[in-house]
Amino acid sequence: MIKTTFPPSILQYIPFFFVMWSDDLLTISEIAVVKKIIDEDQNLSEKDRKTLNAWLNTAQPPLDTEIKSWQRAISNSGIKLVEGDNHPLTSFSKKLISQNGSEHIFNENLSAIEINLGIQPNHYHHLFEVEVVQEKTSHFYDPAEIDQILKGTYHREIDKFRGILSKSIFSWEIIKNKEEFREKVLTQVQYLAEAGYGAMAYPDAYGGTGNMSLYATIFENLMYVDGSLTVKFGVQFGLFGGSIQKLGTKKHHDRYLTAVGKAELLGCFAMTETGHGSNVRGIKTTATYNKEQDNITIHTPGKNDNKEYIGNALHGTMASVFAQLIVDGKNHGVHAILVPLRDSENRLMPGVRIEDNGYKLGLNGVDNGKIWFDQVKVPRENLLNKYGDIKPDGTYYSDIKNPNKRFFTMLGTLVGGRICVAKGALSGAKMALAIAVKYALQRRQFNDNLKIQEDLIMDYPSHQLRLTPAIAKSYVYQVTLDSMMSIYSDDSITDKRKIETQVAGLKAIITWFANETIQECREACGGKGYLLENRIADLKADVDIFTTFEGDNTVLLQLAAKGIMSDFNTEFNSAGFSAVFKLLGTQISDKLVTINPIYANKVDKEHLYNPKFHQHAFDYRTRRLTYSAAMRIRNYIKKGIPTYQAFLKVQTHLIALGKAYSCELAYNTYLEFTATIEDKKNQQLFEKLGCLFALSEIREDASWYLEQGYLGGTKSKAIRQRVERLSTEFRPHIEVLVDGFGIPDHCLTAPISR
């Protein structure tokens, strides 16, 4: 063993200084932590104290030769680095001076540097040329506790349901034949119906518990089994049954809901049309009331006016058909009518034509089809009449006189399905992340010539950066969607317009996030991620469609943006516009002041990690985009351009606004949630995850912030470095975090996750 020239009093600090300077992330606040420990060390001579303090001078950093001498002192020590120690670097330093019999002067407060600077073993075991006794994961946090926090009130019911998913009927297998796949999925749906899970959201009188939030949780957990099962379950009980529950009245509930919940009556939700997509108000299918026969004629007028991509179309015997309701020659807008598709012997009803959509990119266990109606007659009572009815005398009546308000009120009741879509997509992302992380904690690749075995790929900073921010975002989005479902399920909130705006934006950003994350996980697993047996390929194919069903994401972001600008939903060139515009300008003028250059380049850890900074950054972006969009629209209208065209000219601007608003909403919702976590250790973990989410989001939109002068180049760089640093700090806890998602072990069947 080669002796070092450093006295023991200084030698114990060497590992810390080597890590700090190799990391190149020393900030004023971090220097203050180290300086305090040095100043309070009673075993240091004034000369030693002066030497150590000089090494903290960022204006005159230590010479490269000095840093190399530190590295030699560490590498030549012959001491093993034990990752499993409570504070590995502190333990290493203590062993370092113990070789010289100087453990009595060891400064136990050195552990404060390790804690406050967030130094983790993977920050330095590539720097130290010593043998590392590696630990795959830390047990500082308990995944069961994390899962419990996320499950909340319904933890017992959720645990029971996850146990049911262990039954052989839910075992995952590769089925390439769509007919065989569909039959298995139908059997699974019927099993869940018999167990009472289909009717979960329905009232007690119809076999349910009236619990929409728990239903949504059941839905998202089904993604861990199979995407086709999840969607089929949602179509039958959420869309078809939900339309009867939300748009129908007691007569419909009494006649149909129990049978729907038991899967005795299989049905579909026939809204989307081939030629009209997301434009529900513009659908062409008609429902014409015939006063003499007291019935309604359902008709598809044109070739591309058929219902398209309808789940349960091949198995279903009834459909909730959305059509233009025409009474006495007047179009009263879109309403839903129950239309039988097949008779008791499963033969198509007269005038009904159904074609199989065939094989798709994914979800081939769902029987999607196209439906045409040729003068199909149904009783007047089949109109789901909660918001609009045809009275016995043949006249139309609605409590909501304004057709626009009636339309959006009707659609607002179906927002729960949009939340479930986002939840399902997020579960797909969480499943992919769990598989990718567990694989990365086993897979080894590359090393240098001094190491005996290759390194775990999870120990590479690049791998941490590609997976860890996505894990943090998954936590934020999970909490946000749970909150949205709770608000949506609150029957005391009758006006659903605000929640519809919020969910439109969230569904868009979360389903996009899910697809991007699954793709990243596929690549992170290399060729193994491409194998069907490892589940990621199926997740990728199944979740892809979530970006366009229940609303195309680009359209939904514009819907969200228009909701944000609802004050401008009147005539833009009317006298009222000026007053509204002035009001908006007053509300946000304080947010549009020139950003102070000192603030724009403030880089200390306390500021960058402060939720108030994150909230201000998100709030500034949303308000700035709102204000500038309003200004552009106003200027177009002043030139005589029609309102609709003015909106088209700022379409991409509105999409940016929708994204900004949704990000801010998610973060603020998450912050409110973290404040309610009672256990301080877990609360701090959730706060740190929120910090990584916020800094990642700001980093991803750094170009916008730089253009606005909100960030300077120095601060933008510091944020990027902090995202990398936080990703590395989470490395010891990464498996705990994905286990905290609560994915049942019996659902993690991918061989590479074992």
- CB contact at 8 A, 30 and 117: yes
**What is the reported pLDDT for 138?**
80
Query: What would the two tokens of residue 452 be?
Result: 């005996």
Q: Report pLDDT for 114.
A: 85
Q: Where are the domains of the chain?
A: 8-133, 267-409, 413-746
Q: Is 700 considered catalytic here?
A: no
Helices (H) and strands (E) in the chain, counts: 32, 13
Q: Contact at 8 Å (CB) between 342 and 348?
A: yes
pTM for this entry: 0.87
| Low-confidence winner among 3-12, 260-269, 347-356, 583-592 (lowest mean pLDDT) | 583-592
Catalytic residue among 83, 220, 273, 550: 550
Report whether pLDDT(158) > 70: yes
Domain with residues 267-409, CATH architecture: Beta Barrel (2.40)
| Environment class of 159 (CB within 10 Å of its CB; exposed 0-12, middle 13-18, buried 19+) | middle
Domain 413-746, what fold? Butyryl-CoA Dehydrogenase, subunit A; domain 3 (1.20.140)
As a whole number, mean pLDDT of residues 664-672 equals: 98
C-beta of residue 295 within 8 angstroms of C-beta of residue 380: yes
Q: How confident is the model at residue 568 (pLDDT cuts 50, 70, 90)?
A: very low
Q: Do domains 267-409 and 413-746 have the same CATH topology?
A: no
Alpha helical stretches, state H, 589-733: 597-600, 605-608, 611-638, 643-649, 651-674, 680-700, 702-708, 713-729
Q: What is the pLDDT of residue 122?
A: 64
Q: Which of 85-89, 326-330, 708-712 has the lowest mean pLDDT?
A: 85-89
> Which residue in 700, 730, 693 sits closest to 461, CA to CA?
730
Residue 439, class by beta-carbon neighbours within 10 Å (0-12 exposed, 13-18 middle, 19+ buried)? buried
Q: Rounded mean pLDDT of 217-224? A: 97
Mean pLDDT, rounded, for 88-108 = 89
Quote the mean pLDDT of the chain: 90
